[in-house]
Amino acid sequence: MDVQWYPGHMTKARRMMEENIKLIDIVVEIVDARIPMSSRNPDIDKMANNKKRILLLNKSDLADDAVTDKWVEHFKSKGFYVLKLDSRKANQAKKTMKLIEEASKEKIERDLKRGIKNRPVRIMIAGIPNVGKSTFINSLAGKGVARTGDKPGVTKGKQWIKIGKNIDLLDTPGILWPKFEDRNIGIRLAMIGSVNDEILSKEELSVMLIDVIKERYSGSIKDKYEVDEIEDSYKLLEDIAIKRNCIKKGAAPDTLKAADIILDEFRGGVIGRFSLDTLE
C-alpha cells in the first residue's frame, strides 16, 4: 500500500494560506503528538519560514508521555515555542495564551515604536488534517466557533476568529503535501486518521499497525484483545476478529470488521498511549 492523498481542496487551501501569510505575525503549527515528525508538513514549514513559530503537540493524551517530552525538548532546541496539549480539556487555554504572549512581545514592541497601539496579533493555525486545529481554536475562544469532526477534511475554507481584543486567529483547512518523501510517513498519517480512509486498505493498514504496536509496546495487544501476540500479524487480526465476534457467513473471521475496530480503538487511545515517531 502506497498512501497519497492530495485532493483539490488542499491545493486551494495552500494557495489561500500563501496569500494570507503576509498578514500573519505568528504561525501556530499543530501536529499530532503520536507522530510529531511525520505530521509536520514541509509546505507549511516553508511558508512560515520567517515568522514566529509555535508548535503544539496536540492529542498528547493519546501519545506516550515520556516520548512526547523528548519531542518537546527537541523542538525547543530548534527554536520553536512548544507545548504539549490535549485541546479537548478545558484548562489548556491559559498556558497557550502565555506562550502566544511571549511570541508576540517583539511585534508589540515594534508596533509601539512606530506609534501603533493595540493592533491585534494575527495568528495562522496550520497543520495536516484531523490534528485538532478547530478544536484548539474553540478551546481558546471558550466556545464552539469552528466546526470539528472525527475525520479528516472537516474545515474546508478559511475563517477569521477574534479572541478577545488582542488576537485574530485564522483557521485553515488541514493540508497534506503532494508527495511523501518516505512511504512510512504516509502510512503513519493513515494510521492516526489524517488520510481519507476511503482510499486505504484498512485491513493492510491494521496489520501494519499491529506490527508496530507489537514491536514497540509489546504485550498491549495481548492485554487488550486477549490473544497471543503471534508473529503473523494477519493471523493475529483473524484471532482478534474471532474474539470480538466478527464472523462472516460460513464462519470465516471478518478481518475487515476487526481492522475497523483496531483502527478506531488505536485512534481513540483505547488500546494504550502510543508514540509511533521516536527520537533516537
Left, alpha or beta for 235 (phi > 0: left; psi -120 to 50: alpha)?
Answer: alpha
Residue span binding Mg ion (CB under 5 A) among the ranges 73-81, 133-141, 185-193, 269-277: 133-141
DSSP 216-276: HSTTHHHHHH-----S-HHHHHHHHHHHTT-B-TTS-B-HHHHHHHHHHHHHTT-S----S
Of 14, 58, 22, 16, the closest CA to residue 39 belongs to 58
Amino acid identity, position 254? D
Name the grid cell of 189: 498519517
Q: Which of residues 64-93 bind ligand GTP (CB under 6 A)?
A: 85-88
Cβ at position 88, least distance to ligand GTP in Å: 5
Q: Which CB sits closer to ligand GTP, 66 or 251? A: 66
Q: Which does 206 bind (CB under 5 to 8 A by kind): Mg ion, ligand GTP, none?
A: none
Q: Which CB sits closer to ligand GTP, 89 or 248? A: 89
Handedness of CA 279, 96, 46, 185 (dihedral sign): positive
- For the chain, the straight-line distance linking the first and the last C-alpha, in angstroms and rounded, comes to 26
Asked if residue 62 binds ligand GTP (CB under 6 A), the reply is yes
Residue span binding Mg ion (CB under 5 A) among the ranges 61-69, 110-118, 126-134, 236-244: 126-134
Per CB under 6 A, the list member of 16, 154, 212, 256 interacting with ligand GTP is 154
Binding track over 115-144 against ligand GTP, x by CB under 6 A = ------------x-xxxxxxx---------
Asked if residue 155 binds Mg ion (CB under 5 A), the reply is yes
Asked if residue 96 binds ligand GTP (CB under 6 A), the reply is no
| Rounded Cα gap, residues 184 and 3, in angstroms | 9
Q: How many helices (H) and strands (E) does the chain have?
A: 10, 6
Q: Which CB sits closer to ligand GTP, 7 or 79? A: 7
Asked if residue 150 binds ligand GTP (CB under 6 A), the reply is yes
| Rounded Cα gap, residues 161 and 121, in angstroms | 12
Q: Give the CA angle between residues 219, 223, 227 to the nearest 5°.
A: 90
Cβ at position 131, least distance to ligand GTP in Å: 5
Residue span binding ligand GTP (CB under 6 A) among the ranges 38-46, 150-158, 160-168, 234-242: 150-158
**Site of interaction with Mg ion (CB under 5 A):** 133-134, 154-155
Enumerate binding residues for ligand GTP (CB under 6 A): 58-59, 61-62, 85-88, 127, 129-135, 148-150, 152-155, 173-174
